[in-house]
Structure 1
């Protein structure tokens, strides 16, 4: 049988000769999935799930590292595939009915990934209702006695990377709907096909009243960013300079400032676009940009001890 290009890339990223995961190869796979779309998210997911059960545990660990990168880099079309029952069942195919007292590295890594997805994409994704099978698998494994380690809750940098214009939100929705449509048609049960028909109508714009207000969604995201500016300012107002409070990498100040710094390039692009395309939003963008700049300058001064 002819090997598909995506399988070639995945095999290369999981070569047993690799001592450790090669992230350049991972990103190559991610880019292929993101640009080619079609069946690639599904083919990649199923191919990796099979490799995760490889007799050679080193290959399995490399496959799981690749899987982790793809979940972070590929967005909804891939998330939809890792939340299918076929994928999840294949991923845990070698899990015994009763958990071993000391799970090996491959099993531990799979448990860690399922737990991470439950805590991240299953709570943060705009389409989390489509990812229910991941939560169900987590629940089932817990019921069988498998143990998941508690994840330290990282403050999500998502609020910065999620800063999207109305056009980007709409485009993202259309992409997600197309991926979902393809999956419904692939499953092909009468219920799925009925849902596919509804989705096609929506994609064709048959019901304009049901179209989300992307502009107000985008403004909500900006408001969240503004709240972060206010938060950091308040935190700096309350710094206990008499006791010589120190700022360290990874502390709350640093985390909030990182979110704001990460949002700046996006905001600056919006400002340059708005000058020609959207003058009414320009003021809002400029104002938030100024607020971010001044609070970051203030934070940098505080770090140097200049209270």
Structure 2
């Protein structure tokens, strides 16, 4: 969790008034990369959202929303638990921090919970938590979601180019660009930036996947050849070293493939390729164990 905390501290630094998108993105990447990330991140975020420093709390809410958009289903499952929702409710409740939390932070928290009831209608606990806030009079009326918050998290549907297929975003963008209000134009600007960034990240992911899969198949092929020679006891000293290096590299590729598979939820073909590469890798590692150990 050390890396997670480090990036979160940078992303929510109260002395920096602007959002630090690079650190926010790094935090999200870390949540995805760490096996414990999705369960640990909400706890760290809750602590920051409850900060008495308004800027820190607002930054933390931006980080939370970015994670909801980018960190996948395991993260969604964690924030939909009462354990996390209660931490958000404490910011609003006069029994806890509601009396001294700033209005700005409280309205952002209300907005966040309300937007989730819209985006995740299947999550009963979120709806229950929100209804309870209304019943207790802590939330008087449903907030109006700001223009640039209308976008629900990307749905897990296969997409070609983000610009072609995300009709909702394109419609929203067209509407914002027609507006004469400066806030709308700022929202449009943010939306364009996020769409471009998404597109870049998507192609970076694809090339990482292609490169990893091709490295796996080359290594597997080379290892197979060397193992055949090893069985026939025709391996030179330098070939033995090469075999050892390949073995170590293949060991390192395993967790990499595993991570790629967990990131590739929206593309069945790509996932099949990754799993196939993983099978080849496991087979060659098994053969190495048999041949070299015997």
Q: TM-score, normalised by structure 2?
A: 0.49
Asked which structure has the greater CA Rg, the reply is 2
